Amino acid sequence: MDNNPYYGAERPARMTVSSAPGKVYLFGEHAVVYGEPAIPCAIERRATVGVEPREDGHVRVEANDLTLDGFAVEYRGSTSERPDVDVSSELVDAAMGYIDAAVTQARAAADAPKSGFDISIQSDIPLGAGLGSSAAVVVAIIDAATRALDSPIDKREVADRAYHAEFEVQEGQASRADTFCSTMGGAVRVEGEDCRTIETPRLPIVVGFDGGAGDTGALVSGVRSLKSEYGFAADTVESIGDIVRHGETLLADADPTGAPPTELLAELGELMNFNHGLLSALGVSSRSLDTMVWAAREAEAHGAKLTGAGGGGCIVALDPTPETRTALRFTPGCEDAFRAELSMEGVCVEEP
């Protein structure tokens, strides 16, 4: 693939390289944590991980393009040696935690608890922005590391182990949605333990990015507190699940081989607008996200909503024209806007 950082370069003799896509949520973030359904879609922004086994049991990580300055750290058994980079300590600690948990899962899958690795990570998915950067990195590490140890595992096991890695780092507040989507590619439906791929037309997805990131743990905890304290907050979570079910019905009736008709995009967009309103009511939106959502709607996007945990990061809109992307690029607080093609390929081995 063109985004393979080793393409055209000399790869270390035993290096194994895997990549996995990021994602956007059409519907269902936050509610999926409580057993409601969600529909995320993989997009053509990927994390690429190279893994080379080493004999001393140490792990050395080099990370670039994670919206950090880049870092390298070597450790044995723990990521306590925090890299010194000029970015939020919470983001860096979380990134290192995900890497550590992924390594633990790969070692367990290969029955090689003392294995060491040189790991190189490159990604064009903004860190903490709601596009599934951590899931893509975890999925790619587990796939590449098990292959490097000559113990490859099937995609279902990759997704399951990646979920458990995120579950550990997020202290039991993760869902299977991000990791399953990143592993399988395309559009998926996740409801509790029930994870499956679904067909969807090539949706005209536009992403706006405010350059920031939300604190996933704090945002999820905030929704949990609201849900436990107020009955109407619990009802709001259930209403998000109802939106997902209706959206799923619309997608099931669509022709996956052709361009989606305007009527379908309008119905899906209306559901996205409702979904964003409910997420705002749960306190997980932000001024920058709301500003981008309204800019997209005023540009006549069919619908727009935040994607991911919220608090900052990205919005997703449906618009086959260039108008939404153009409007977002001139919106104060929007750092980037781009069209995000649906990625039908999930985690895969990269060839030189």
How high is the pLDDT of residue 69? 44
The pLDDT assigned to 302 comes to 98
Considering the domain architecture, whether residues 182 and 229 belong to the same structural domain is answered as: no
Say what the pLDDT of residue 56 is.
Answer: 87
Of 149, 177, 198, which residue sits at a domain end?
A: 198
Residue 119 φ/ψ, nearest 5 degrees: -120, 130
Q: What confidence score (pLDDT) does residue 94 get?
A: 65
101-126, pLDDT tens digit by residue? 999 999 999 999 999 999 999 988 88
Q: Return the pLDDT at 64.
A: 66
Residue 138 shares a structural domain with residue 231: no
* Residues with active-site annotation: 178
Return the pLDDT at 142: 98
Same domain membership, residue 233 and residue 115: no
Structural domain boundaries enclosing 68? 16-198
Same domain as 301, residue 173: no
Q: Is residue 88 part of a domain?
A: yes
Looking at the structure, tell me whether residues 192 and 214 fall in a common domain: no
- Shared domain for 163 and 55, answered yes or no, is yes
- The residue out of 169, 198, 227 marking a domain boundary is 198
Low-confidence ranges of the chain (pLDDT < 70): 1-14, 64-95, 352
For residue 51, what is the enclosing H or E element?
strand 39-54
292, 214: one domain: yes
Domain check: are 296 and 232 in the same one?
A: yes
Which residue has tokens 């064009």? 124
| Count of CA atoms in the C-beta half-sphere (13 A) of 102 | 30
- Does residue 252 fall inside a structural domain? yes
* Inside any domain, residue 307: yes
With a CB cutoff of 8 Å and minimum separation 6, the contacts of 191 are 32, 35, 36, 37, 38
CATH at residue 330: 3.30.70.890
Same domain (yes/no): 107, 254: no
Task: State the pLDDT at residue 4.
Answer: 45
Indicate the residue among 198, 232, 267 that finishes a domain: 198
Question: Residues 193, 209: one domain?
Answer: no
Domain with residue 107: its CATH number is: 3.30.230.10
Domain membership flag for residue 2: no
Is position 254 within any domain? yes
pLDDT at 65: 56
Q: Are 198 and 189 in contact (CB under 8 A)?
A: yes
Q: Is residue 9 part of a domain?
A: no
Residue 8 lies in a domain: no
Residues 72 and 88 in one domain: yes
Q: Write the pLDDT tens digit of every residue in 282-305.
A: 999 999 999 999 999 999 999 999
* Burial environment of residue 288 by CB neighbours within 10 A (0 to 12, 13 to 18, 19 or more): buried
Residue 164 lies in a domain: yes
What does the alpha-carbon distance between residue 288 and residue 185 come to, in Å, rounded to a whole number? Answer: 29
Q: How many domains are contained in the chain?
A: 2
> What pLDDT is stored for residue 93 in this prediction?
63
Q: Same domain, yes or no, for 176 and 232?
A: no
